[in-house]
Amino acid sequence: MRVAGLHSTMRSNNSIHCPTRCIEKIMVSESNRKIALVTGGARRIGKEIALHLHRRGFDIVLHYRSSSEDAEALTQFMCDERPDSCMTLQADIQNTQEIEKLGSTLAEHYGTLNLLVNNASGYAPTPIDHCTPSQFDDMLNANLRGPYFLVQALLPLLKNARGSIVNILDVHAERPLPGYNAYCAAKSGLTSLTRSLAVELAPQVRVNGVSPGAILWPEEGESYDTSMREETLSRTPLQRQGDPADIAGAVGFLACDAPFITGQVLIVDGGRSLVG
């Protein structure tokens, strides 16, 4: 197990990253201070979500697994904008021991959590003819089991704040992507879990989901080659690709502007799911 990299980034001309002793107790002193944890928040859509929530007044706990340089740079940027408003926390959310450590760390330093954004995910092909048990488990652990037990670990903090959870889903939970069956199944499971937990955790905690369509193409490119990208956009009623800011805005809406909404999945796909 390795849970490391817990620090706040203080305003400094030398970009000094303060170790844990600098934040022995970042206890909430202002009654209106809001804390948001964004998993996988260092890059891509997670980064945009973190920036959007920060602009809306949240202090950010920026989780990452391996993108340490990106996480530290983003933390520095946000702390330059508003001192002591972001901290990074490294953990593998596929590991339940690290999830428990993450939960205890947040409890020690904040004692409350207003918002959990389950953004971190795994994405890899698993063709049924040669998918291994390990590959299958990796997709379920990253996209379903990890978020499940992270909610469990953070539940006392979320209840204390009467907070909310926003799960980042995928339109392929409903429109399967060939060769990515384990990923699609796991995201379908997280979609179902979103609705189940909305019932189970009410009225203390609201739970919703955002389901992105064509926002950022997968980095490995294998699942969406040029021709498939062109076809996807041509069959999208808005005739264009979305932007990470579209997802961040949807998360912000569900977290801040929708106190009577729970158990819902907001599809952000330019209308693609409406057509065959």
pLDDT, tens digit (0-9, with 9 covering 90-100), for 111-124: 999 999 999 999 99
Average pLDDT value for residue range 31-35: 82
At 21 the pLDDT is: 29
**Mean predicted lDDT score pLDDT of the chain:** 88
**Beta-sheet strand order (sheet of 7-8):** 7-8, 86-90, 58-64, 34-38, 115-118, 164-168, 206-212, 265-268
Is this model's pTM higher than 0.85 or not? yes
At 14 the pLDDT is: 30
Tell whether the model's pLDDT for residue 52 goes beyond 60.
Answer: yes
For residue 228, what pLDDT band results from cuts at 50, 70 and 90? confident
Q: Go through the domains of the chain in sequence order and give each one's CATH number.
A: 7-11+30-274 (3.40.50.720)
Mapped onto helix, strand or coil, the DSSP state of residue 15 is coil
Tell whether the model's pLDDT for residue 104 goes beyond 80.
Answer: yes
In terms of phi and psi (left: phi > 0; alpha: psi -120 to 50; beta: otherwise), the region of 5 is left
Structure tokens belonging to residue 150 = 């992270």
Tell me if 46 sits within 8 A of 118, measured CB to CB: no
Burial call 37-46: b when 16+ CB within 10 Å, e when fewer: bbbbbbebbb
CA distance 190 to 175: 15
Active centre residues (catalytic): 183
First to last CA, the chain: 45
Give CA separation, 105 vs 23, 50, 102, 137, 166, in Å: 12, 19, 5, 27, 21
Instruction: Give the closest residue to 185 by CA, choosing from 238, 229, 143, 124.
Output: 143
Mapped onto helix, strand or coil, the DSSP state of residue 165 is strand
CA distance 171 to 61: 27
Which helix (DSSP H) or strand (DSSP E) does residue 120 occupy? Answer: none
